[in-house]
Amino acid sequence: MDSNKAKIEVPVMADLFKQGKKPEYLFWVGSAGAFDDRYKQVTRAFIKILTYLKVDYAVLGTEESSSGDVVRRAGNEMLFQMQALMNIELMKGYEVKKILTCDPHAFNTFKNEYPALEGGFDVVHHTQFLQDQLDKGNLKLSKEHFKDKKLVYHDPCYLGRANGEFIAPRKVLDRMITNRVEMPRNKSFALCCGGGGGQMFKEAEKGDKEIFIERTEEALATGADIIATACPYCMVMLTDGIKYKDQGENVKNYDIAELVTLSLRL
């Protein structure tokens, strides 16, 4: 390891709270962010950005548990509410006001569904956070790193259609890359990656095709070198799709946070 490189100690809420500190943000890692090998890279990338920007944050660490999004959409309301009420109690205990997350599903459930269970927090998706940092001038990105690349952005359903956030991810991308293209089905009419509503965790029902292949084909047809996403499910599904289409050599898929770290060489 390069001796110039500083080791990042990720601040944990319980430790800070013991010292009487209340960080500005809780960074919600999410189960995929903590356990999925591919998405762990995104978590690490975003932590680097938070460190670079000297953001006052902490994670729940081993106290974090599932947000309950999946089980709710799979019909298990009882388990969802148990998870939600436990999470709300935990976060309220730490006097959390703002939640930052890379997962649009957690974002959606915190922002729209926890309030009905007396859990009102200010919830920010990492793409919105990055856009805000760019707008404020705290974050500066150049188009140097991706100057020869062509990129296409896949809208995660739970960020886009479900919550109307189509602009922030595109604005961040447009600061890093000139050649950004759209798929025919984009924004409100984007095609799902096939991972939501519990599908990630089960075999698909009988059909002619897997949804993630349909979407990957659409993305590949744009001729982009990079498929950008902003959701753990989309990441997993599209990674599988690229592998299935045997395009791993030519096309990479990255989360927007990873593209920022690449661009900044963090």
Residue with smaller CB distance to other proteins, 22 or 85: 85
Residue with smaller CB distance to other proteins, 47 or 257: 47
Residue 239's identity, in one-letter code, is: T
Residues in CB range of 68: below 8 A, 6 or more apart: 79, 80, 81, 82, 83, 84, 87, 109
Q: Which residue has the tokens 């709300």?
A: 88
User: Closest approach of Cβ 136 to other proteins, in Å?
Assistant: 21
User: Closest approach of Cβ 154 to other proteins, in Å?
Assistant: 12
User: Closest approach of Cβ 179 to other proteins, in Å?
Assistant: 27
In 10 A of CB 191, how many CB atoms?
17
- The Cα angle at residue 52 between residues 237 and 26, in degrees rounded to 5: 65
Residue with smaller CB distance to other proteins, 125 or 180: 125
Residue with smaller CB distance to other proteins, 52 or 94: 52
Q: Taking the chain, what is the end-to-end CA distance rounded to the nearest angstrom?
A: 14
User: Closest approach of Cβ 178 to other proteins, in Å?
Assistant: 28
User: Closest approach of Cβ 59 to other proteins, in Å?
Assistant: 8
CA nearest to 139, candidates 151, 131, 147, 149:
131
Residue with smaller CB distance to other proteins, 19 or 62: 62
The H-or-E segment that residue 61 falls in is none
User: Closest approach of Cβ 251 to other proteins, in Å?
Assistant: 21
Residue with smaller CB distance to other proteins, 85 or 262: 85
Strand partners, 151: 180, 226
Cα–Cα distance, 139 to 148 (Å, whole number): 22
Q: Which residue has the tokens 């059909």?
A: 207
